[in-house]
Structure formats: C-alpha cells, structure tokens
Amino acid sequence: MLEVANAIKFAICIAAIASILIVVSRRQRSGLQIAWACFCTGLAAVMVREVFGSTPAALTPLLIVAGCASCSCIWLVARGLFRTDVRFGWPQALVVSGIFLPAVLVQLLTAASAERVFGVAGMEAITAATYGFQGMLSSTVLVLAFWEGLRGWTQSAPVAERRLRVAFLGSFGLGVGICVMLLDHGDSTRFDPALMALLQAGCAATIFLVTGFGVVWRSRNPLLAAGRQPHTSSEADKRADQELGEYIRARVEADALYLDPDLKVASLARHLREPDYRISRAITAGLGERNFNRFINRYRINHAKDLLRANPQGTGSILDVALDSGFASIGPFNRAFKESVGMTPREYRNGRIRQAARPVHLPQPASR
C-alpha cells in the first residue's frame, strides 16, 4: 500500500506543477488562478517531502516554508470560487503570513544554530510555541475555507452552482476530517502506517481534483452579484476587449483555426487559454461582430470563394469545397454562403464559369 500511496502523491506533485505552469503561461491571470497556483506550489512541496522523505539540506527549508501554502492558500482559492467581490487585502495577507512566519522563524533559528544561545530545551520550547501558533491559524483557515463554501448558499442558485458547492464541501470536509482530525490529532497508533499514507494520498488527490475542476469551471463561468450585468462598459474593459479581440483575430488568421469544423467558443478558449466568456465578449464587444459563428463563417466563406475562383472549370463537388472550408455539412455552408454573398455557391461558380467562357473582343486595327 505504501508504494501505491507514493505513486499517487508523485502524480499529484506532477499535476500540481503542470497547473502552476499553465497559470504562469496565461496572458492574463485572475486572483483565483493566482491563488490556485500558490496552493499547487505548497501541495507540490508537501508531496515531494512525503514521497522522497529526506531531501538535500539546502532544499529542505524551502520545501518546509513552501508547504505552508497548501493550507493557507486553499482558503484564498475557496474565496475565489464562491465570492463575487474577491479582494485579497491586508486582513487575508495578515492571516496567510501568520502561517508562513513560524516556519520561516524556525528555519532561520535552525540555520543560525540558535541552540547555542537558547539551549536545546529553550529551542524546543520556541519551536513548540511557534508551531502551536501556526497550528491554531492553520485550523482557523481550514474552517474559513469550509465556511466559504457554505456562505451564500441558496436553493435558488443554478444547479451547477449547487453541485460545485456540494462537491467542494464534500471533498474538502472529508479530506480534512480524515487527514487532520483523525490521523494528525487522533489516535494514529490504531492504523497501519501504510494505510495512513494511502488515506492521506487519497484525500489529497480528491481535494486537488475537485478543487482544480472548480477553478477551471469558475474561470469559464464567473459568479455574478445579484442584479449585476455580466459586463460593465468601463474604458479599461473596452480596451481589454479590443486588445483580446485583435489577438483572437490574429491567431484565427495565422493558424487558420476557421478550417476546423469543430471549432467552438469553448475550444477556441482552450486554444488561447482564456475563459469562454472573455472570448465571446472580445468578439462581440471588442471586434463588433454579431456573434462567434458570424465571425468564423466570414473566414470560411472567403476561403470557399478562393477555392471556387481557383477552379473556374467547375470540376469537383460543392460538398468538397464546404468541407475544405471548415463546414461540417453542405446545408449550413449553402445558407451561410448565400447570406454573405447573395447567391449559392453553385450560382457563384457558374457565374465564374460564364465569365471565363465569355469571348474576348480584341480592338480592331484602325483603317488607313
């Protein structure tokens, strides 16, 4: 069981590092995503120490301090998931720093060989007091994280919102209950060490997967305050929409994304690593397009016209042109083409054929 537990912890570590890299690589990052990256940093540090046990002396203090983020930042992640007015101000910074500072202090005293000044007993008392304070704050933060999932609960909320809260509260409550209350503060001598390691790994994996899914889902489905419109038309918002819109246009043209018949707002958002709602807003508000389909179909129609002009003899089927232009079937292609050009693709090609077959009248030489 110990090997299985270590394998799970190692997989969590790799997934956490991958999550950090994804957040860092984004052009724009929300407070929720930054808090998630910090939590993943702490989780990865904890998993490294759990899996490998002994680490290089120079690396151990960094891992111990970084591991504090796993507890403190889960509260910030919960705030980002379930609040519309997420503000990470000085009260939050004070609580979070209160969890980090004891670990930093102990590591600094250890590195400075403080035992020579305070003695072994004195150093043990200082360590116990600082970590006792840290434990108190950590327990408070865990309770606050659970409370974030409860506050604002209402049966009138959309089903998806209620399911997200239930999933978070269930996984987080069960994980904290097993790892902290039962294994850390309970009578752990009743459990086999390998079983304890497996339970801890399972709890960590569950919390990581459920919360990570919540972060992705919330990034694409922002929580709006009651009575608030999805978008306020401030000048900063307009500029951001225009900049993102131009970036979308450049990527669609450069990568010929419109030739993908399965291209949707969600797939384009994944490709550009942006939330769905921002992609839709940038196309409509930033570029002034009617909707996503009109925006993409314009490129497809222009591509189809190029194909029809390149083959004025009329060989090949209209269906081939439709498929080569990014349409999944002939019906939507015909409708979109006629709406844009004013005639069907066949009529457009036949007009090109008649134009090519029209005799050319050369000017007659002037009589002398």
CA distance 308 to 322: 10
What integer pLDDT is reported at residue 49 of this predicted model? 84
CATH topology of domain 2-220: Rhopdopsin 7-helix transmembrane proteins (1.20.1070)
Instruction: Kindly report, as residue ranges, where domains of CATH 1.10.10.60 are found in the chain.
Output: 235-357
What integer pLDDT is reported at residue 106 of this predicted model? 83
Which stretches of the chain drop beneath a pLDDT of 70? 54-55, 85-88, 156, 180-191, 224-234, 312-315, 352-368
What integer pLDDT is reported at residue 295 of this predicted model? 93
What integer pLDDT is reported at residue 190 of this predicted model? 64
What integer pLDDT is reported at residue 15 of this predicted model? 92
What integer pLDDT is reported at residue 180 of this predicted model? 67
How far lies 78's CA from each of 21, 85, 121, 248, 274, in Å?
21, 13, 40, 31, 21
What integer pLDDT is reported at residue 327 of this predicted model? 93
Percentage of residues in the chain with pLDDT exceeding 90?
Answer: 20
What integer pLDDT is reported at residue 185 of this predicted model? 53
What integer pLDDT is reported at residue 52 of this predicted model? 80
Architecture per CATH, domain 235-357, reads as: Orthogonal Bundle (1.10)
CA distance 189 to 185: 11
What lies within 8 Å, CB to CB, of 75 at 6+ separation is: 92, 95, 96, 141, 142, 144, 145, 148
For residues 292 and 310, is the Cβ–Cβ distance under 8 A? no
Instruction: Kindly report, as residue ranges, where domains of CATH 1.20.1070 are found in the chain.
Output: 2-220
User: Tokens 């000085």 correspond to what residue?
Assistant: 90
